[in-house]
A = this chain, B = another copy of it.
Amino acid sequence: MSTREQIIETTSHLLEQQGYYATGLNQIVQESGAPKGSLYYYFPQGKEELTAEAIDRSAREFTRIIETELARYDDPAETIYQFMQGLAEHAQASDCRGGAPIATVALETAGHSERLTAACQAAYGRYQSAFAARFVASGFSEERAAQLATLIVAAIEGGMILSRTQRSAAPLQTIAGDLRDIVSFSYKR
């Protein structure tokens, strides 16, 4: 991995764990093992630029996961259920310490940084488009697909907050069942 990539990956990880304001450039340099000075070489505009890149990276990665995982089952309700159960397992494996790489930065910086708000908006837009495309492929109308995608992205982000706060994957597992039902109910109408 290049130094630039290593810096972005370390930043993504720290943002997920502790958010924007708690993450300092010194910590990023230290934990990434990047040579001092390389950070401003690659990211001359500093922390905001680097954070926007890290959000973009996290968003592309999670979007790929959505696309791959939602292709596993034909039935759209079953595939959402299995996807949510997968998120719950993943959260459990990390002792529910992570799992919402963008949410903290989104909340901290909304209304304070146009650049980061735009990066978070684009990130959530990617997730929503990936879910919506999967539903359209199963025959849902564009409008219904977009509505379901909004609910699912909100439920994931909120479910992660509850799981991290409770240190338990139980909220994500509960939500999995209800999202399956609402997709199934929409599908049959």
Contacts and interface: CB of A to CB of B under 8 A. Distances in A.
Copies in the complex: 2
Contacts of A154: 154-155, 157-159, 161-162, 171, 175
Contacts of A86: none
A185 interface: yes
Interface string A145-189: 011101101111111011011110001001101110110010000
Interface of A: 17-22, 96-97, 100, 103-104, 106-108, 110-112, 117, 120-121, 124, 146-148, 150-151, 153-159, 161-162, 164-167, 171, 174-175, 177-179, 181-182, 185
Nearest to A146: B174
